[in-house]
Amino acid sequence: MKPFDLQRADSLTHASQLCSERNAKPIGGGANLVDLLKLEVERPDRLVDINRLPIAGIERMDDGGLRIGALASNTAVAVDDDVRSQWPVLSRAILAGATQQLRNRATTGGNLCQRTRCYYFTNIDQPCNKRAPGSGCGAIDGVARLHAVLGTSDQCIATYPGDMAVALSALDAQVEIASANDRHRTVPVREFHRLPGDTPWKDNVLEQGEVITAVTLPKPVSGRQIYRKVRERSSYAFALVSVAAIIDMADGLITRADLAFGGLAHKPWHDPRIAEALIGKSPHEALFDKAADILLEDAQGYGENDFKIPLALRTLKAVLAEATGVQL
């Protein structure tokens, strides 16, 4: 592990100022970052401990939504009474990820910023444009079982590994961000993560010196909330395919269809055309096939991960059938 300077921020402004310096990174729970430090994938000159900042609370907002502080642990969010009763897809997604010990340490902001578990990214002896720009993408012609089939580029086919952000995408949550010049902005979760394109090392839209302060959920909506995660084993494992869904019906027709997908792309995948195809329709298998066709129309496998395409189709159909009561 490369030596680094550790500074403890005593205010949000102080944290942003410290993080504004080149090659400085904030650290909360460190569930992902510490692993990457040990592997020398991350080699910051400075770590900024933000655990003294008052951004760990979970509180209802005047509009009926929920504000989750960036330092709220995954466990605290998953077991919160309001989350479990009003936004259960988020609780289920968090509980499907990691171990209890990791959830106790992992924070909401850190979870959003976690980096890929691509074998080539985490091995500094292998080529990886995300870790070492210009070195190539070893996964494209290599070991690609866990890799993306949507939104890839010739620079990177890594996947975003998290569960929580998939549920947040289905919920259309917002990310609150602060910076050293007291500038605050809010970014939809659906726009927070980036596709690789020509700059795969940019995982999200955060700029140097910016710090996530909270995630906000809109007021609760009616309907079934489902999180289904398909993985190679039922214990701690990353998703091959996951689906977060909020489906509502009235008079035999689908009236809401908020869907997001994990394990398929460099970011939680949301395609508004799927909802457009489902809303106002009576649920049946052919309609579910149409939704899957829309999801996967541009999907591309890389040999080892070709199976993800039919797996995603089956998983989406199973979730839609469960949510609407259709027998397949």
DSSP string, 192-204: HB---TT-TT--B
**With 80 as the cut, is the pLDDT of residue 99 above it?**
yes
**With 80 as the cut, is the pLDDT of residue 289 above it?**
yes
317: left (phi over 0), alpha (psi -120 to 50) or beta: alpha
Domain count, the chain: 2
What the block records as the tokens of 35 is 């692993």
Which pLDDT band holds residue 79 (cuts at 50, 70, 90)? very high
Residues 6+ apart with CB under 8 A from 314: none
Residue 301 domain-assigned (yes or no)? yes
Beta strands per DSSP E along 52-194: 58-60, 66-69, 174-178, 184-188
Q: What is the pLDDT of residues 160-203, one digit of tens each?
A: 999 999 999 999 999 999 997 778 999 999 999 999 999 999 99
Instruction: Give the residue from 128, 104, 107, 137 showing the smallest Cα distance to 33.
Output: 107
For 205-265, the DSSP string reads SPPTT-EEEEEEEPPP--SEEEEEEE-SSSSS---SEEEEEEEEEETTEEEEEEEEEESSS
> Do the beta carbons of residue 221 and residue 198 sit within 8 Å?
no
pLDDT computed for residue 243 by the predictor: 98
Instruction: Give the residue from 209, 232, 294, 196 showing the smallest Cα distance to 22.
Output: 209
pLDDT computed for residue 182 by the predictor: 74
Per the prediction, the chain carries an average pLDDT of 96
Residue 150 domain-assigned (yes or no)? no
Range of the domain at 37: 5-49
Residue 241 domain-assigned (yes or no)? yes
pLDDT computed for residue 22 by the predictor: 83
- Put simply, whether the predicted model's pTM sits higher than 0.95 gets the answer yes
Q: At what angle do helices 308-324 and 285-296 cross, to 10 degrees?
A: 140
> Do the beta carbons of residue 185 and residue 216 sit within 8 Å?
no
Which H or E element spans position 1?
Answer: none
pLDDT computed for residue 180 by the predictor: 78
How many Cβ atoms from other residues are within 10 Å of residue 231's Cβ?
Answer: 17
Residue 274 domain-assigned (yes or no)? yes
Question: Average pLDDT in the 71-76 region?
Answer: 98
**In whole angstroms, what is the distance from residue 144 CA to residue 296 CA?**
18
From 11-20, 105-114, 306-315, the region with the lowest mean pLDDT: 11-20
Residue 295 domain-assigned (yes or no)? yes
Please count the CA atoms within 13 angstroms of the CA of 276 that sit on its side-chain side: 6
**With 80 as the cut, is the pLDDT of residue 100 above it?**
yes
Residue 34 domain-assigned (yes or no)? yes
CATH no. for residue 37? 3.30.43
> Do the beta carbons of residue 196 and residue 213 sit within 8 Å?
no
78-104 burial: b if 16+ Cβ within 10 Å, else e: bebeebeebbbbbbbbbbbbbeeebbe
Q: In the chain, pLDDT over 90 holds for what percent of residues?
A: 95
**With 80 as the cut, is the pLDDT of residue 279 above it?**
yes
Question: Average pLDDT in the 288-313 region?
Answer: 98
Which pLDDT band holds residue 234 (cuts at 50, 70, 90)? confident
Residue 308 domain-assigned (yes or no)? yes
Q: In the β-sheet with 5-8, what is the strand arrangement from edge to edge?
A: 5-8, 46-49, 24-27
Which H or E element spans position 50?
Answer: none
Q: In the chain, pLDDT over 70 holds for what percent of residues?
A: 100
**In whole angstroms, what is the distance from residue 152 CA to residue 32 CA?**
23
**In whole angstroms, what is the distance from residue 177 CA to residue 207 CA?**
10
pLDDT computed for residue 285 by the predictor: 98
pLDDT computed for residue 235 by the predictor: 80
> Do the beta carbons of residue 78 and residue 91 sit within 8 Å?
yes
**In whole angstroms, what is the distance from residue 257 CA to residue 109 CA?**
27
Q: What is the pLDDT of residues 101-142, one digit of tens each?
A: 999 999 999 999 999 999 999 999 999 999 999 999 999 999
pLDDT computed for residue 193 by the predictor: 98
Q: What is the pLDDT of residues 16-26, one digit of tens each?
A: 999 998 899 99
Instruction: Give the residue from 177, 179, 180, 120 showing the smallest Cα distance to 302.
Output: 120
CATH no. for residue 276? 3.30.390.50
Question: Average pLDDT in the 282-296 region?
Answer: 98
Residue 108 domain-assigned (yes or no)? no
Output Rg (C-alpha) for the chain, integer angstroms: 20
